[in-house]
Structure 1
Amino acid sequence: MTSSAIPLQHSSRQVWGAVLAMSLCAFALVASEFLPVSLLTPLATDLSLTEGQAGQAISISGFFAVVTSLLLSTLTQGIDRKPVLLATTALMLVSGALVAFAPNYPTLMLGRAVLGIAIGGYWSMSTAVMVRIAPEALVPKAIAVMQGGTALATVIAAPVGSYLGGLIGWRGAFFCVVPLAAIALIWQAFTLPAMPGERGTASATASLRLLLDSKVALGMAAVAFLFMGQFTLFTYLRPFLETVTQVDVPTLSLLLLIIGVAGLVGTMMVGSLVGRHLFRVLPGIPLLMAVIAFAVISTGSWVVPTAVLLGGWGLIATCAPVGWFTWLARMLPEDAEAGGGLMVAVIQLAITVGATLGGVLYDGVGYQATFIASGMMLLVATALTMRLGRHR
């Protein structure tokens, strides 16, 4: 489905109100998706699971996000995009309640599956919505503002999730997402314009057909290895810090805060860089992350070097979505919705594979194998991105 611009007669204030509302929703989605990272140990203990099994709470949401992102355009063609976005936000609210009150592992996984539907639906449309509600010259800025919600979630969700987990339990921490989702739902209902859907242009394979373009296929392969590498390591950061670095909960929260603050700074800085030097920024991200992944293996027993390296990880990793969604908007300006669906499918599948592989390696071999696998995948992402830059 193409996403041609619609003539919105809205003031700048109304447009940016809608963008900020979507940024809040992005914040809540990312906080929901990755809260298990900061709450993995107490969640696993309470439900009598291994860390690897608990990590599959991220994998299952990724799986359902993949399926949803590929099918949503077909299932909702002809339907106004505003109510579709509101429905995905409402599903996030339902998911938060299910997880918070989950009496067992299957219910936990059901709640996370519902979240996956929300993630896949929302993110697959987000870039197309930015193209439709913001003036063309401001689309990169609108994307960066929306992704600012993602970065802010990395600042707040991990350390606050860890802190709240010790204060009110992991269930209470998960329930805190529910009121955030409710606020985002109401705000979007009042600020998003009507965005009529189009009929007759979508199909179940519309997104996949984009892979027939070799440049798109190469870019998506680079994205896949980047996010696989990132979440092979990041998903199991808490047990690593607790067992190898041997930090207590307050120090753990501080380290997660360092990662998050660095990520917010990175997102604020990268907006202007990707506009001028996109194909220098894109390969630099996985290359530096790979260096950090290998280095942490050697320094993991010491708190200060580990904190510095993880701060660098946060600074760099959160730049990836801004860079790649900017690439997507440039590469597929007339197929933003189909391209967005494909991008989300690739990212979520990569997160699923990364979290699953990381769990298997962490439980079966140890953290060293997990981090080495992460670094190797990030190096592959670097090579693919450099090749993409040469063929742009």
Structure 2
Amino acid sequence: MSVGLAGLMVTLYGVSAGLGVPFLAAWTRRVNRRVLLSVLLAVLVLGNLITAASPSYPVVLTTRLVMGFASGVFWAIGVSMAMRLVAGRQASRAAAIVMSGISIAAVVGIPLGTYLESLTGWRTTFLIWSGLSALVFLAVAVTIPSLPSDNAVPVREVFRLPRTNVRLRLVLLTVVLFVLGHFGAYTFVRPFLEDHASATPGFITFVLMIYGVGGAAGNFVAGFTTTNRLRGSFLVGCAGLVLSLLLLLAIGDSRAGAIVSLALWGLCFGVVQLCQVTMTQRAAPETFEAAMSLNTMAYNTSIAIGALVGGVFVDHVSVASVVWFGVALTGASLLLTLSAGRNSAGATGGGVAP
């Protein structure tokens, strides 16, 4: 099948993780969160197991669709669960730890999966993911106490939040733009490197691991800077995303250029990834679970659309065109944040939005 068609595995996963989560988080608002998390992990265990044994591409797509629902709901409930497990004064630190976990997983997961696939094959890789999910399932069952739901709201109130909370609305629009750009390009970074740098599978695995290390480093840095410089951290990270994509276009035809570009890309995405979750938390602290479900909808739907549009560009224009698509959208996210900050400063007599 074509590269663009293969990208549907990302698209369908993003569609279900995005569009389904506000409804599922609201419909399960009376379900104990430990029970719900256990069910989500069980879905991931079975989904990865079925994927590993799938006899055809349609079965893989169907399984990914179901797994997306589970992944999306975790994004909505995971951080608020962590905040409830500790004393009130430690809640923000607990949230930062889980945000770091989500962020590091986002930048390390694909490179690690690529590395395992190069050693074992894709079916074995999914078996490994299934086993890891099973271990986490057991850990949750043994260690997490009962957590009755306490801040989920009905569906109608979830979708009312962006209309009544201007700050949250701006955060969601910012997320849509940078995720469209980032994942539109990143989904097809492997064929880009194969076409422009004549990269071998081993080199692609190596450079994606560099990207993952950069992402972890960016997440670590952002953990210190977001407390007092949240907006500034996001602006720097977003500007770095634009620069890294331009560098990939300019010098990505050499191996050294590809390494530099992907290292910077990962570093900046690690910063932006942590910032956007923190921005959501600060925009709606009293309804964080509902706000996070909207964030998840915006984020994962944008992954799906970005991968879909990227596939069209790759199949009908060129693989380089999808990187330009990423430049345009991440640049738009940067400009929106700058504009929102200026408007906020003018409205508050020169103050700076956090």
TM-score, normalised relative to structure 2: 0.92
1:325 aligned partner: 277
1:123 aligned partner: 75
Q: Distance in 2 between matches of 1:272 and 1:166?
A: 35
| 1:98 and 2:50 are equivalent in the alignment | yes
SS across alignment from 1:276: coil
Q: Distance in 2 between matches of 1:168 and 1:288?
A: 34
Equivalent runs, 1:200-211 vs 2, <5 Å: 202-211=153-162
1:156/1:349 CA distance change after superposition, 3 Å: closer
- Cα RMSD of the aligned pairs, angstroms, is 1.8
Equivalent runs, 1:1-392 vs 2, <5 Å: 49-153=1-105, 156-198=108-150, 202-212=153-163, 213-390=165-342, 391=344, 392=353
SS across alignment from 2:155: coil
The answer (yes or no) to whether the contact 2:108–2:215 under 8 Å persists in 1 is no
2:349 aligned partner: none
Q: Which amino acid aligns with 2:307?
A: A
The answer (yes or no) to whether the contact 1:61–1:113 under 8 Å persists in 2 is yes
Task: Render the CA deviation track for 1:245-293: whole Å, top value 9, x for unaligned.
Answer: 1111221111011101111111111111000101101122222101211
Give identity over the alignment, percent: 25
2:348 aligned partner: none
Q: Which amino acid aligns with 1:206?
A: E
1:153/1:56 CA distance change after superposition, 3 Å: same
Q: Distance in 2 between matches of 1:346 and 1:58?
A: 15
Q: Which amino acid aligns with 2:167?
A: K
Q: Distance in 2 between matches of 1:186 and 1:315?
A: 33
The answer (yes or no) to whether the contact 1:219–1:384 under 8 Å persists in 2 is no
Q: Distance in 2 between matches of 1:160 and 1:120?
A: 21
Quote the offset at 1:153 in angstroms: 3.4
1:155/1:285 CA distance change after superposition, 3 Å: closer
SS across alignment from 1:246: coil
Q: Distance in 2 between matches of 1:316 and 1:138?
A: 27
The answer (yes or no) to whether the contact 2:211–2:264 under 8 Å persists in 1 is yes
Task: Render the CA deviation track for 1:122-176: whole Å, top value 9, x for unaligned.
Answer: 1111222133223344334323322333344356533442233233211111221
Quote the offset at 1:332 in angstroms: 1.2
Q: Distance in 1 between matches of 2:122 and 2:16?
A: 23
Q: Which amino acid aligns with 1:293?
A: L
Q: Distance in 1 between matches of 2:72 and 2:107?
A: 22
Give the length in aligned residue pairs: 343
Quote the offset at 1:119 in angstroms: 0.9
Q: Distance in 2 between matches of 1:155 and 1:109?
A: 23
Q: Distance in 2 between matches of 1:291 and 1:93?
A: 38
The answer (yes or no) to whether the contact 2:191–2:319 under 8 Å persists in 1 is no
Q: Which amino acid aligns with 1:103?
A: P
The answer (yes or no) to whether the contact 2:99–2:277 under 8 Å persists in 1 is no
Q: Which runs of 5+ in 1 are unaligned?
A: 1-48
Q: Which amino acid aligns with 1:99?
A: T
The answer (yes or no) to whether the contact 1:79–1:197 under 8 Å persists in 2 is yes
Moved more, 273-282 or 137-146: 137-146
The answer (yes or no) to whether the contact 2:79–2:99 under 8 Å persists in 1 is no
The answer (yes or no) to whether the contact 2:252–2:261 under 8 Å persists in 1 is no
Q: Distance in 2 between matches of 1:228 and 1:253?
A: 24
The answer (yes or no) to whether the contact 1:140–1:326 under 8 Å persists in 2 is no
Q: Distance in 1 between matches of 2:271 and 2:316?
A: 32
1:24 aligned partner: none
Q: Distance in 2 between matches of 1:273 and 1:89?
A: 32
Q: Distance in 1 between matches of 2:313 and 2:107?
A: 27
Q: Which runs of 5+ in 2 are unaligned?
A: 345-352
Q: Distance in 2 between matches of 1:205 and 1:50?
A: 41
Q: Distance in 2 between matches of 1:271 and 1:79?
A: 31
Quote the offset at 1:67 in angstroms: 2.5
The answer (yes or no) to whether the contact 2:177–2:330 under 8 Å persists in 1 is yes
Q: Which amino acid aligns with 1:211?
A: P
1:229/1:269 CA distance change after superposition, 3 Å: same
The answer (yes or no) to whether the contact 2:19–2:301 under 8 Å persists in 1 is no
Q: Which amino acid aligns with 2:115?
A: Y
